[in-house]
Structure 1
Amino acid sequence: MKPVQLTLICHGQTEAQRVGRFALDDDPLRELPAPMAGLSTGAHCLSAPELRALQTAQGLGLQATVDERLRDCDSGRWQGLALKQLQHDDLAGLQAWFADPQSAPHGGESVAALCSRVAHWLDSGLAAGEWLVITHPFVIRAAMLHALAAPLDAFQRIDVQPLAQVRLSHSTQWRLQLPS
């Protein structure tokens, strides 16, 4: 049986990432990325629906199909707010969100709900072959946790930089692939 080869690519940098605030759906990239060497031209390509993911696909020269299941975590009423502001205005909520994956003090999606959504997507049966997916740091973190069967509290211990690539493969189970 031919395996699934999945490369998750984080969208390019936004101003929200640079200044440490929760993103808005229509946050643009600071600049379009250049095409990356080594990306398979014959791969199936999917993108999260937000502008920053679509612009990344465009800059990389990829024709991506939007998959709503790859959308960023819903940060509810924290959308657009800086972490520094939340440390002042909602410190207890921010601390709860960092400490408890089930917590959603912002009224949006909890880390646990995001991880469940991403795990379901991964296990929904991507066709065998190569896949490129343009998505968000939180979605990539969730995919890594699922592939490694790691506990949810490990979510806050992973940093995913703009344009980072994470490779997963699946034949009988998900595996994280480190570059050689």
Structure 2
Amino acid sequence: MSIQLTLLCAPGGDPTQDPLLGDAHLSQDAMHMADAARAVLSPGEQAVRAPSMRCSETADAIGLVASSEPMLRDLNVGRWSGRTVREVAAADPAGFTAWLTDPDATPHGGESVRQLCRRSAEWLGSVAPHTGHAVAITEAAVVRAVLIDALAVPARAFWHLAVPPLRAVFLTWRGGGWDVQFGGVSPQEPRRRLLSQRTPLAAGCV
């Protein structure tokens, strides 16, 4: 059984770094960041992406032909979509605080963090046993949710996982669990093993 997944977070769309909630086109700076990843990612890589504009544009900038995977879609923030973090925090401070602290909270009327974690775990568990190496270009929230599952940590840790844009997360299925590595996608940023956790495939969130 051989599975090696490289997760890349598309630039933008992370409430902890970017104030706009919901999908948007990549900025020129983000396009340049994505283009730099060409140095280490082969155009022939097996690849999937979230269905958002920013993930599609990131794949194009890298030069990857990536199929759209609905299960990698961003966290649904319901009526907050298109608003800034500052606007939401000012209009609904209690709801915003609940969103950041309670994985079951849905003050926006959309999807809870725990629901996203379960969806992401289902996707991770659906990866074919002999996939080999594949790249997934997706959203910061989805990368966090995948890490929650792969590292078997509580869903309440979701917002405490830093996911910088285009910093790779390497998942390797070995010995009945996932090894997790973090690194860059440029020659100047070699892979660095930061965490390793053995956990059953699709263990789910707690």
TM-score, with structure 1 as normaliser:
0.91
Shift of 1:90: 0.4
Shift of 1:125: 3.0
Q: In terms of mean alpha carbon deviation, does 113-122 or 8-17 score higher?
A: 8-17
* Aligned partner of 1:29 among 8, 26, 30: 26
Shift of 1:168: 0.6
Instruction: Indicate if the aligned counterparts of 2:14 and 2:140 stay in contact, CA closer than 8 A.
Output: no
User: Does 2:13 correspond to 1:11?
Assistant: no
Percent identity among equivalent residues? 37
C-alpha distance in 2, partners of 1:15/1:8?
15
C-alpha distance in 2, partners of 1:106/1:12?
23
Shift of 1:151: 0.6
Which runs of no fewer than 5 residues in structure 2 stay unpaired? 183-190, 193-206
Amino acid at match of 2:19: G
Alignment-derived partner of residue 67 in structure 1: 69
CA distance 1:134–1:21, change in 2 (3 Å): same
Deviations 1:122-165 (A, max 9, x none): 01133430010110000000111111001111101012122121
Shift of 1:21: 2.0
Instruction: Indicate if the aligned counterparts of 1:16 and 1:23 stay in contact, CA closer than 8 A.
Output: no
C-alpha distance in 2, partners of 1:107/1:79?
11
C-alpha distance in 2, partners of 1:15/1:165?
15
TM-score, with structure 2 as normaliser:
0.80
CA distance 1:159–1:77, change in 2 (3 Å): same
Which runs of no fewer than 5 residues in structure 1 stay unpaired? none
Alignment-derived partner of residue 44 in structure 1: 46
C-alpha distance in 2, partners of 1:95/1:134?
29
Alignment-derived partner of residue 84 in structure 1: 86
User: Does 2:163 correspond to 1:164?
Assistant: no
C-alpha distance in 1, partners of 2:152/2:13?
30
Which structure has more relative contact order (CA 8 Å, sep 6+)? It is 1
- CA-based RMSD of the aligned residues comes to 1.9
